[in-house]
Amino acid sequence: MTSGFFYPKTATGESSLIPAPPWHYSGDLLTIEYRTDPDRVRDLLPEPLELAEDDPGAVALIWADWQSCSDSREELLDPVRSQYKEAFVVVRCRYDGTHYSRCVYIWVDKDFAVARGIHQGYPKKFGSIHMTRPHPYGPAPRLEAGARFGATLAAADRRLAQAVVTLREPSDTNGFVNGHPMAHHRTLPSITGDGLALDELIESGAKSFEAGPAWRGEADLELFEAPTEELARLVVREPIAAYFRQLGVVWDGGKVLEKR
């Protein structure tokens, strides 16, 4: 018998790329919301998902600096297994009359994060992600009015996005685009080349959530063309706002909305 939540399967299961959920996250999130052409959002929504009824062109581009672990917390004492960064793009959609958030693009810098994305339905790819970290001492920005944060995203040696965020005031929220349960597809092509062996529309979200104060400001955001990426198609037509928040989340599965 072999064991392990994910590949590779071994007698002990210790080589598994990721442990079994629940997964615990602590992170800094830099969120930039803007409006693009709703038709470009619709292009990224497979059936049976539909555009959101209100503000259908709203987009959130989010940079995150994470520490994550399993229930044992052992990964936190071996930081190469817990620390990673990601940048992801979220839009809103509707299914069966209910509004959901949906991640349409995401880049990460660790293999275990890619593997978790396969399980959760996130379309993860490798990328190079950097963002300014707050700190109460020295030259790093504090969480206060006027603080400035930079963020960059690259993949396959090409710069895809860069931003500078200036905080202005405390906020009651961290934005609205990434504020619903996620509606994702989990798919796997059949080994015979005929259709899909796995085809599910699933809902998932945080089992529990805690967060510090949110800050709101504005962002100078640029998107760039690249041969194998389409982020730049979500053109910035109108800025909405930018946010910074530190939070903790527990993820422990979801439910199937449709299975084909």
pLDDT the model gives residue 7: 95
Task: Measure the CA–CA gap between 202 and 151, rounded to whole angstroms.
Answer: 31
3-class secondary-structure state, position 102: strand
pLDDT the model gives residue 77: 98
Helix (H) or strand (E) holding 38: helix 38-42
Give me the phi and psi of 78, to 5 degrees please: -130, 75
Give 141's pLDDT tier (boundaries 50, 70, 90): very high
Q: Which DSSP category does 8 fall into?
A: S
Distances (CA, A) of 6 to 19, 173, 242: 7, 35, 36
pTM summary value: 0.97
Task: Measure the CA–CA gap between 64 and 81, rounded to whole angstroms.
Answer: 16
Can you list the alpha helix ranges (DSSP code H) found in 103-186? 111-120
> Could you tell me which residues come within 8 angstroms of residue 144 by beta carbon, excluding any fewer than 6 positions away?
167
pLDDT the model gives residue 209: 96
Handedness of CA 14, 20, 26, 30 (dihedral sign): positive
Mean pLDDT of 154-161: 98
Give 93's pLDDT tier (boundaries 50, 70, 90): very high
Query: Could you tell me what percent of the chain has a pLDDT over 70?
Result: 100
Task: Measure the CA–CA gap between 142 and 134, rounded to whole angstroms.
Answer: 5
Task: Measure the CA–CA gap between 226 and 210, rounded to whole angstroms.
Answer: 37
